[in-house]
Structures are given as structure tokens and as C-alpha cells.
Amino acid sequence: MNGGDEVAAAPVGPPQPLEWKFSQVFGERTAGEEVQEVDIISAIEFDKTGDHLATGDRGGRVVLFERTDTKDHGGYRRDLERMDCPISRHPEFRYKTEFQSHEPEFDYLKSLEIEEKINKIRWCQTANGALFLLSTNDKTIKFWKVQEKKVKKISDMNVDPSKAVGNGSVASSSNSNSTKSYLANGGWPEKSYGYPSNDFTFPPGGIPSLHLPVVVTSNETSLVARCRRVYAHAHDYHINSISNNSDGETFISADDLRINLWNLEISNQSFNIVDVKPTNMEDLTEVITSAEFHPNHCNMLAYSSSRGSIRLIDLRQSALCDSHAKLFEEQEAPGSRSFFTEIIASISDIKFAKDGRHILSRDYMTLKLWDINMDSGPVATFQVQEYLRPKLCDLYENDSIFDKFECCLSGDGLRVATGSYSNLFRVFGCALGSAEATTLEASKNPMRRQVQTPSRPSRSLSSITRVVRRGTESPGVDANGNSFDFTTKLLHLAWHPTENSIACAAANSLYMYYA
């Protein structure tokens, strides 16, 4: 006790609110430019390292971006990270490659068009320098391998490259310094093969010796995307989620009524592990809206429903997991029920925190943070767009009330984020005592709509602290008095796994921010 004198440690307060800055934009629209439907981004996903980012669009394409600032200064950066020194450089990405993942199809048995839109993308474990990812549309999941391959060229041509052939083009040679790009199989991208044309004439006396062209491997490389497997014909309803297992061997796919378990190596067989389809479809009361594996325990997964509940299931209990291990739902306040109660309670997205202890869920009005050890209610609720409550009737008429907003957590678990209308997204601090509630716009000036005095959280009198946090709200108008635009919505966003960096999609544009 040292003579009764005790020095009390200073209490550690919540982290300071982050100041977000614009980093990059890909596919920025010019004023008045019309957005093509096929170019609208429909999925965003960082890989586990944060060095690669994938986006999918409604045209069935997957576009990959790679980080460049860590490559250029990799060793130096890692040394600084070990010493915990602040790094002035912000994350920078560049376009890597793109490929057509899905094409529009037609189901002749059901007379149903299957659109090519990418619903979800999930990265798999890398191997031998190649990137692997899963992409899905409404019905079919595909497993892609993307790697660099050396380009093959044709050498030892019979025509002297220094002489022009009949049509004025020059023949190719093994020592050609041409900067033209090659296709994956070694061909030219356009039909200028450098072969003699029909009006080519042999020199007097003929060519002394003829030899076969030789295919040689050059030092040039090109990125090749190859579909390794196709997982099809396992879902009667639209696929809304895919999720990798931590074992690196299996993944799940979920539609409105079923969740299937797949092995990455086996494409012609899956196991149905959840089936909520009733015997009589008239008895159907809820559907599955999202599903995700636990980040650390390969036997646990969670799925959400259209009635606002989250079920945690354990694959060790039984082969068909119709009975849940835990149920998370919030009881509605008495007298608060209306026609729209069940619609706005529907959970559009769930995400596990990196540590696996918490689950973040997004419904139409709020973000909720749940502790998997406490099923009595959420530990924190964040009001995202409470200003819309008086407008629910209009939103129901124009179907906006059915928009599915995604959510994400920071790698350290201290903050959560989700999108809203007018291309806005909101970042909330979820550490104990934090009052962080930041509203940002997907533009080159993200803080344009920010209000300087965020409202304080109101605490409940429960013995277990529950927080309700409100974002910057005013009915129908933003901080600058502009009316909210319900046609521009920020549905998709992703948080970098190790840094405070967010990528979000506004129509066909990909915006990136850092703090």
C-alpha cells in the first residue's frame, strides 16, 4: 500500500471520432452523364489482407483492384507498423483486371429469365500466387482462379520482318519490340497476324529454306481469369448470401428458404443444412435474408430473417439444423405496431465482428450490435434514418422500403458503418461511451453534409448498458437544407480488414475514403 498512498490510473475514454478524407474514385461520372444499368455496382468485398478489392456489377462482371502503396514500400511499411509509427501514406489502389463472371440465362422449365447481376463476392484462400474467389448471381455460384501467366509468342517466321508484306503490315518476329497486348492463348487481340496477304509475291528464286514457326514463352505476363468450378441447380429461390468457412474447404449459400453447405472441390453435390419451407406455403411467415459463417469456429453460422430475428446454429448438433442454438431478437414496444412494422424489421444484412463475439445487423431504420453471449437484446442500437418514419407510406408505394442496405464493421471492432439515401453513409462508434455519429457523402468532399454537433447517446436504465445512437437527422432535409434523394442510394460498402478505410458504391462509381 506504500503508506496508504495509492495512485489511481486515469480512466481510458472512448476513441476520438475519425476525420474521414477522400482517397480515390473509380468510374466517376461527369455532370449529366447517364448511368447504364449494367454498370451499377452490386457487390464489394476486400480480401483478408486488404491488398485486393473486388466489385461485381449488374452486367455480371467482376472487377479486381490491387493495393499499390504497400507494394512500393512493403518492407519499410512493415518496419514502421512493427514500431507502431504513424504512416502518412493513405491506401492507394489501382485497377488490376476484370472478367465476365455470369451471363444472362433462361430457365426453360420455369419460363424464367435469370439475370447476370452479381449478388455477392467472397474471397477464398490464395495459393501459389493465384487469387481465388466465389461469385454468385441469383442461381449459380462460380469459383474463379486469377493468376499471371507468361505470354506465348510465335517466332521464327519465314518472312523477313524488315520488309513490308503486301498489305503494308510487318511480319512478327521473335525479337520484335512490339508493345501490342496478347490474348491469353498467345494470339493477337485483332486480326493483324503479320502473315503475307493474298497479293504477296515470292522473291525471284524463291525462299532458300522454309521452317515451321516456333511457339516460345516470353517474359511478358498477362492476368488470366479461369472458372474452376460451377455450383448450380441447388437453389429454387434467389441466392442472397454466400460465406466461406474458416476451415478453408467449405462454404454456404443461402436463398429465401434454404441454406446449403458445399465443399469447394465438389460442384455436383451439396448438403441442405437449413430448410424453413413449410409443408403448405400459405403457412410461410418468414424468409432467410442473410447468412454468414463464424470467422473462427467452423461449426457455427448465423442467419437472419425477414421478421428481424437472428439465429445462431451449430453444425455439430444435427445434420439438418432446423433447431437453432440461440435466437436473437428484440421485442417490439407495446402499442407501436403498424402496417409497416414487419417490413422495416426485416434484416437485410448481418456481419460477424472479426473476433466472432459480436454480430452487426441492418434493418431498414437501424443498425444493431448483438453480443452472441447475450440473447436478451442488442447491446447497441444506432438510428440510421429515423427521419423516414413519417414517409413510410410513400416509400412503400415506390418500393424503396424494400431496399437492402449492407453493413460493415472495422477490423478493430470499434466502429460500424452502413449506407443510406442521397449517396450518404454513416459511421458510428460502438466503444463504451463513444458518441461518434458521422454522416458522410459518397463524393470527393465526404464531409460536405456533416453537422458539427452530433447528438449524444441516450442510455437505458438496464443493468447491462445498451446504447441508442442517432445520426444527423432532420425530417426530409439534410444538414444543408437539401431534400433527400431516394433514387440515389448507397447500398454496398466494405471496411478494410486492418485499417480505417472504407470502399463504397454510388451507382457505377467506386469511392474510397480513409481516416
Question: Over the range 444-475, which residues count as b (16 or more CB within 10 Å of their CB) and which as e?
Answer: eebeebbbeebeebeeeeeeeebbebbbbbee
CA distance 377 to 388: 24
Cα dist from 264 to 99, 439, 462, 493, whole Å: 21, 40, 46, 26
Beta strands 112-114; 120-123: pairing state? unpaired
Q: Please give the pLDDT value at position 434.
A: 86
Whether the pLDDT of residue 191 is over 50: the answer is no
Q: 115 by DSSP, 3-state: which?
A: coil
Query: 462: which 3 cell numbers?
Result: 438496464
Query: 423: which 3 cell numbers?
Result: 449517396
Which amino acid makes up residue 287? V
**237 secondary structure, DSSP code:** S
Task: Please work out, in degrees rounded to the nearest 5, the angle formed at the alpha carbon of residue 359 by the alpha carbons of 357 and 364.
Answer: 165
- The percent of residues in the chain predicted with pLDDT above 90, rounded, is 59
Burial label for 278, CB within 10 Å (0-12, 13-18, 19+), is exposed
CA trace torsion 304, 308, 312, 313 (10° rounding): -60
CA distance 499 to 182: 37
CA distance 377 to 356: 17
Q: Please give the pLDDT value at position 145.
A: 96
Verdict on whether the full-model pTM lies above 0.85: no
Q: Please give the pLDDT value at position 108.
A: 86
Residue 142 and residue 230 in contact, taking contact as beta carbons nearer than 8 Å:
yes
Query: 40: which 3 cell numbers?
Result: 451499377
Q: Please give the pLDDT value at position 83.
A: 54
Whether the pLDDT of residue 267 is over 70: the answer is yes
CA distance 309 to 359: 12
Name the nearest CA neighbour of 442 among 18, 24, 43, 17.
24
Beta strands 300-305; 288-293: pairing state? antiparallel
**pLDDT 10s digits, 107-143:** 888 888 999 999 999 999 998 889 999 999 999 999 9
**pLDDT 10s digits, 146-155:** 998 887 877 7
Mean pLDDT of all residues in the chain? 82
**Residue 339: band (very low, low, confident or very high) from pLDDT cuts 50, 70, 90:** confident
CA distance 299 to 513: 35
Whether the pLDDT of residue 385 is over 60: the answer is yes
Neighbours of 95 (CB within 10 A): 11
> What is the mean pLDDT of the segment spanning 325-348?
87
Q: 341 by DSSP, 3-state: which?
A: helix
Task: Please work out, in degrees rounded to the nearest 5, the angle formed at the alpha carbon of residue 204 by the alpha carbons of 198 and 208.
Answer: 95
**Residue 173: band (very low, low, confident or very high) from pLDDT cuts 50, 70, 90:** very low
Question: Over the range 66-92, which residues count as b (16 or more CB within 10 Å of their CB) and which as e?
Answer: bbeebeeeeeebeeeeeeeeeeeebbb
Q: Please give the pLDDT value at position 466.
A: 44
Q: Which residue has the higher pLDDT, 474 or 102?
A: 102
Neighbours of 319 (CB within 10 A): 9
Q: Please give the pLDDT value at position 329.
A: 93
> What is the mean pLDDT of the segment spanning 270-277?
94
**Residue 30: band (very low, low, confident or very high) from pLDDT cuts 50, 70, 90:** confident
Query: 74: which 3 cell numbers?
Result: 512493403
Query: 285: which 3 cell numbers?
Result: 411467415
Spell out the alpha helix ranges (H) of 278-400.
341-345, 392-397
Reported as type and span, the H/E element at residue 65 is strand 61-67
Q: Please give the pLDDT value at position 298.
A: 94
Q: Which residue has the higher pLDDT, 128 or 229?
A: 229
CA-CA-CA-CA torsion sign (331, 400, 490, 454): negative
Residues 6+ apart with CB under 8 A from 268: none
